[in-house]
Amino acid sequence: MGIDVGITPDGPKGPPGVTKDGVFFLDRFGKLYGLNVNVNKFWRLSTWDGMIIPKPFASIEIHVIPLSRENIPEALGKV
């Protein structure tokens, strides 16, 4: 039975955009994927990470990139 887990690699306390080392430990347990989400209309919260909430009828693009220890630096440039 497979289980899917989603995490934010920069951690719950930031700084934003800086990946914590623990993320790379997770590749021992399964496949890793990088996600990039683009939204054209949104509200931005005044939180440490600038979280966004899509507005109704917004266009949302989701890009999924398979990650491995070998391609993480290259893939992070695409995400």
- The pTM assigned to this predicted structure is 0.62
3-state secondary structure 34-70: EEEEEECCEEECCCCCCCEEECCCCCEEEEEEEECCC
Q: Is it the case that residue 49 has pLDDT exceeding 90?
A: no
**Tens digit of pLDDT for each residue in 1-35?**
577 777 777 666 677 777 777 776 777 777 888 88
Whether 52 shows a pLDDT value over 80: the answer reads yes
Cα 77 from Cα 43, distance rounded (Å): 26
